[in-house]
Amino acid sequence: MSESKSSDTESAELETFRAETRAWLEANCPPEMRKPATSDADVFWGGRNAKFSSEPQRIWFERMRDKGWTVPDWPKEYGGGGLSAAEHKVLRAEMGRLGARPPLSSFGIWMLGPALLKYGNDAQKKEHLPKIAAGEIRWCQGYSEPNAGSDLASLQTRAESDGDDFIITGQKIWTSYANYADWIFCLVRTDPTAKKHDGISFILFDMASKGVSTKPILLISGYSPFCETFFDGVRVPKSHVVGQINRGWDVAKYLLQHERAMISGMGERGVGRPLGQIAADSVGTDAQGKLDDAMLRGKIATFDVDEAALAACAERAVDLAKAGQAHPAFSSAMKYYGTELNKRRYEILMSAGGVDALEWESERSRQGARPRAWLRTKANSIEGGTTEVMLGIVAKRILDLPGA
């Protein structure tokens, strides 16, 4: 009896939290922030040189930051909201109900933060986490190299010991927004004689350090979200290594789980309006109000079924993690499905848009927003581990199939 009573109290407290959260969001989320960002410029990434694209964007960010809700489930001492798992779920649900966009997008939040919380020492946590939460420092990820893509552990960027420092030399590629980033979390080889997974360290340094340079890569979308990043004798204190020297692969893998969870979220992120309605606008409807293209209608409906099912699975993945029942490789499963689904979404959008979706530069097409976004999605199933690598991980680590 006492047990059910305490869970009743708990759920009553949660309902109070829900009511307060709903009221606060209603009062504090500007109307302009209650719809998805329509372009990259409309997303706030923070950083030393950050500029707000609009006044509502600034207000929304600052209000959420002050509540610790840029990182709702981080501890308060690091600038987080200190919310429990159940409260965090309520906050997400209430933001979803309102259509409120995230106030701050950040690789620091999605990737580095969780890794620091698990592997960082006290000084590192105190130094970096509050600045991530407050959007003061923008991070980038130095993982892939020209000869270390899917086979990431074969990376060759060298870190040579020099007293209390490492001297870092080498090249990274596909570094997202390296040209805007303030700091980098980077995988470097600290022991070239060890087996490939055993000689890697995970290290943090300032992109303004001497010897760092970046060069954007023009993609098929016409955008340059990725860079080549060069290190020419960059001096970094050894105290900037997260976890143990030569044990960076553990940190790297843990961070990848979070990266994959983030990328799989793209499959859940709608484009503001249901695909069926977007298609109806351009394709038209028949006398009964059905989309006037039966095959396209069927594809959209199947997509909608899968999208709703994936959303349930994402919700369950979070619940399983909080309950301590999640398989550590499950983010690979979600990453595979979420990215393939997002590619399907944009194939449907291109088909629905027809000729109108082909314009690349006009004002009418918002500078070809749709075809450029369509092309961008093709990277989803490559970045953060390809679909084929994800399926291999599922086969080996979850299904325990015999390995090659």
Partner 1 sequence: MALVLTEEQSMLRDSARGLISDKAPVSHLRHLRDSKDPTGFSKELWHSFAEMGFAGLLVPEEFGGSGLGFMEAGIVMKEIGRTLMPSPFLATSVVAASALSRGGNAAQKSEYLPKISNGSLLATLAIDEGAKHRPLQTSLQAVRAGNGFKLSGAKALVVDGHVADLLIVAARSVGSAGEREGLTLFLVNPKAKGVAIERTIMVDAHNAARIEFANVEVNADSVLGEVDQGAALLDGVLDIGRGAVAAEMVGLSDEVFGRTVEYLKNRKQFGKLIGEFQALQHRAAELYVDIEITRAATMKALQVLDADVAKAAAAVAVAKARAGTTATRAVQEGVQMHGGMGMTDQFDIGFFMKRARVCEELFGDANYHTEQLARARGY
Q: Which residues are the active-site residues?
A: 259
Smallest distance, partner 1 to C-beta of residue 278, A = 9
Q: Provide the 3-class DSSP secondary structure of residue 188.
A: strand
Size of the site for partner 1 (CB under 8 A): 47
Query: Using the rule CB under 8 A, is 302 a contact of partner 1?
Result: yes
Strands (E), 238-381: 241-242
The secondary structure of 72-83 as a DSSP string is TTS-GGGT----
| Alpha helix segments (H runs only) across 43-145 | 55-67, 85-98, 107, 113-119, 122-133
Q: Which residues contact 15 (CB under 8 A, 6 or more apart)?
A: none
The minimum distance between CB 302 and partner 1, in angstroms, equals: 6
Of 98 and 296, nearer to partner 1 (C-beta) is: 296
Contacting residue, 51, 218, 289, 364, with partner 1 by CB under 8 A: 289
Q: Which of 320, 350, 375, 382 binds partner 1 (CB under 8 A)?
A: 320
Binding of partner 1 at residue 261 (CB under 8 A)?
no
Q: How far is the CB of 224 from partner 1 (least distance, A)?
A: 32
Candidates 132, 333, 166, 137; CA nearest to 248 is 166
Which region, judged by CB under 8 A, interacts with partner 1, from 130-138, 157-165, 208-216, 392-400?
392-400
Decide: is 391 part of the binding site for partner 1 (CB under 8 A).
yes
Copy the structure tokens of residue 72. 């709702």
By CB under 8 A, is residue 294 in contact with partner 1? no
Closest CA to 64 of 36, 41, 91: 91
- Range 325-344, binding partner 1 (CB under 8 A): 325, 330, 333, 336-337
Which residue lies nearer to partner 1 by CB, 31 or 402? 402
Kindly state whether residue 300 participates in binding partner 1, applying the rule CB under 8 A: yes
Tell me the closest approach of the beta carbon of residue 347 to partner 1, in angstroms: 17
d(CA 73, CA 82): 5
Q: Which of 167, 217, 313, 350 binds partner 1 (CB under 8 A)?
A: 313
Cα distance between the two ends of the chain: 54
β-bridge partners, 139 = 183
Evaluate whether 366 touches 357 at the Cβ level (below 8 Å): no
Member of 213, 290, 356, 367 binding partner 1 (CB under 8 A): 290
> Which of the residues 52 through 91 are near partner 1 (CB under 8 A)?
none
Measure CA 312 to chain center: 19
Q: Are 138 and 180 in contact (CB under 8 A)?
A: yes
Residues 6+ away with beta carbon under 8 Å from 72: 80, 81, 83, 87, 88, 91
Determine which residue in the list 274, 284, 328, 354 makes contact with partner 1, applying CB under 8 A. 274
404 binds partner 1 per the rule CB under 8 A? yes
Per the structure block, which two tokens stand in for 219?
């993609």
Two tokens at 288? 């009964």
Cβ at position 95, least distance to partner 1 in Å: 19
CA 376 – CA 373 distance, rounded (Å): 5
Least distance between partner 1 and beta carbon 300 (Å): 7
Candidates 199-207, 211-219, 274-282, 369-377 — which segment interacts with partner 1 by CB under 8 A?
Answer: 274-282
Question: Smallest distance, Å, CB 289 to partner 1?
Answer: 7
Residue 324 burial (10 A CB sphere; 0-12, 13-18, 19+): exposed
Q: Is 402 in the site for partner 1 (CB under 8 A)?
A: yes
Check residue 403 for interaction with partner 1 (CB under 8 A): yes
Could you give the CA distance from residue 229 to residue 155 in angstroms, rounded to a whole number?
14
Output the CA torsion sign for 205, 209, 211, 215. Answer: positive
Selected binder of partner 1 within 25, 186, 204, 279 (CB under 8 A) = 279
Residues that bind partner 1 (CB under 8 A): 274, 276-277, 279-280, 285, 289-291, 297-298, 300-302, 304-306, 308-310, 312-313, 315-316, 319-320, 322-323, 325, 330, 333, 336-337, 388, 390-392, 394-396, 398-404
